[in-house]
């Protein structure tokens, strides 16, 4: 099964590159469905997370060097009702785990639409809000990290995606990862 998983993930990544056609992307989504039907794990082990270096930050950005902290990334859209429903969870996770976790949400919607959403719901969105290009969103959703549509959430540790899936399973996955992770080093008091 590991060889099949590697082959499917490689095909997915090659069909989701910057110049991929809609037909190629459709084929990649079909392969993802096949992989899931065959029981192939959706998250590639030690998969390097897509970069957020080019994100345009609307709130609480950019993502700094996180050190020992985990990064939670949610992919969302301004028009997506279920995405908006996850905002209180993301805010709570950021507040409760601030010393060990950084939470951000990214969208490829127009900057002004994202800004309007943030200004309409500022109390619900107490986490990083970034606008990225479509290729970054596609990489998260269909790059073998466990995303299957929006909203999708991802836990990143040391630049590698260690969990991906629906936001309703995020808290349990994050708590599991935090309990397995080494504690964050206290700053030197000197």
> What's the alpha-carbon Rg for the chain, to the nearest Å?
17
- Whether the CB-CB separation of 107 and 74 falls below 8 Å is answered with no
Could you give the CA distance from residue 56 to residue 113 in angstroms, rounded to a whole number?
A: 13
Could you give the CA distance from residue 73 to residue 180 in angstroms, rounded to a whole number?
A: 19
For residues 63-68, give the mean pLDDT: 70
pLDDT at residue 56 is higher than 90: yes
84-104 pLDDT, tens per residue?
Answer: 999 999 999 999 999 999 999
Stated pTM of the model: 0.73
**What is the reported pLDDT for 89?**
96
Could you give the CA distance from residue 41 to residue 137 in angstroms, rounded to a whole number?
A: 20
């Amino acid at each position: 099964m590991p060889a099949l998983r590697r082959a499917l993930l490689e095909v997915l990544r090659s069909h989701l590159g910057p110049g991929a056609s809609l037909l190629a992307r459709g084929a990649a989504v079909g392969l993802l469905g096949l992989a899931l039907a065959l029981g192939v794990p959706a998250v590639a082990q030690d998969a390097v997370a897509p970069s957020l270096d080019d994100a345009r930050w609307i709130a609480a950005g950019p993502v700094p060097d996180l050190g020992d902290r985990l990064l939670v990334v949610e992919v969302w859209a301004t028009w997506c009702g279920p995405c908006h429903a996850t905002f209180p969870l993301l805010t709570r996770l950021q507040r409760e785990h601030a010393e060990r976790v950084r939470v951000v949400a990214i969208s490829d919607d127009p900057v002004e639409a994202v800004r309007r959403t943030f200004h309409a719901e500022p109390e619900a969105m107490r986490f990083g809000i970034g606008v990225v290009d479509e290729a970054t969103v596609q990489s998260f959703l269909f790059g073998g990290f466990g995303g299957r549509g929006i909203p999708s959430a991802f836990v990143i540790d040391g630049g590698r995606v260690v969990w991906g899936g629906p936001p309703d399973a995020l808290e349990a996955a994050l708590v599991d990862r935090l309990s397995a992770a080494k504690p964050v080093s206290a700053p030197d008091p000197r």
